[in-house]
Each structure stands twice: as structure tokens, then as C-alpha cells.
Amino acid sequence: MDMTKRIAYLNMISEKIIGCAIEVHKALGPGLLESYYEKSLCREFEIRNIVYENQAMVPIVYKHTFLGDYKLDILVENEIIVELKVVEKLGALFEAQLLTYLKLTKKKVGLLLNFNVPILKDGIRRIIN
């Protein structure tokens, strides 16, 4: 797939994920535990026939030594990492965390979604590796 088509594909998936997240946020509002948003978002993916892996395992390797596995919140279409938060404010630490996940998995795009906001668009960050 050439670069232009790949970018368009990643943008399309990102839009679908954000649409699902908005639907969940409209239905549940802010203030719940992260696990409820995670389950609801996965259910919304199922309803819309979006392929995802919940709690996807990522091997952590340091200098050719396997250190263990790390669980990602959600991996969508084997392309986009979705990291969920329920925090007062998204800070640089959360963005750096997602960027690290992108580097470890060699993925290009991640979405950081904070459901603890009155309007979800204020809780969305797109991170590019």
C-alpha cells in the first residue's frame, strides 16, 4: 500500500474509533471506572464490525532479552493503539507512554482517550510515531 493510501486508511480507522468513543461517552457520560468504558467501547466495535483485540499482549525486549509482556488496552485493525484513561487531565506523561507503546509495536498511530471530560473531543489526543 502506498503512503497516501496508508495515511487515508489510518485516518479512516481513527475516525471510526473516535465515533465509537463519542457514542460510548454520550451514553455513559464521565465519572465511571476505565474498565466500563473499555468494555463499552469494545461492544461498540462489535456492533460496527470493527476488528479489535482487547488487552493485546506486546512483548518487551531489551537488547535481545525478553523481559515480559505488556497489555495494551485495545489494538484496532492491528493498526491503531487505543489507550483509555479516566483522569482529571491528559498530561505529557500519558502521551509519552502511548508513544513508547507505538515504538515497541512499530505502529504509526495511537489514540489517547480520556472519558473523564464533559465533552469527549476535549479528551482525545492522536499520537503519531
- Predicted confidence at residue 125, as pLDDT, reads 96
Instruction: Look at residue 2 in the predicted model and tell me its pLDDT.
Output: 87
Residues 35 and 115 sit within 8 Å (Cβ to Cβ)? no
Question: Across the strands, what pairs with 70?
Answer: 58
Kindly report the number of other CB atoms within 10 A of residue 125's CB atom: 15
If DSSP codes are grouped into helix, strand and coil, which group holds residue 89?
coil
User: Each residue's pLDDT tens digit in the chain (129 positions)?
Assistant: 688 999 999 999 999 999 999 999 999 999 999 999 999 999 999 999 999 999 999 999 899 999 999 999 999 999 999 999 999 999 899 999 999 999 999 999 999 999 999 999 999 999 999
- Residue 17 burial by CB count (10 A; 0-12/13-18/19+): exposed, middle or buried? buried
CA distance 41 to 22: 9
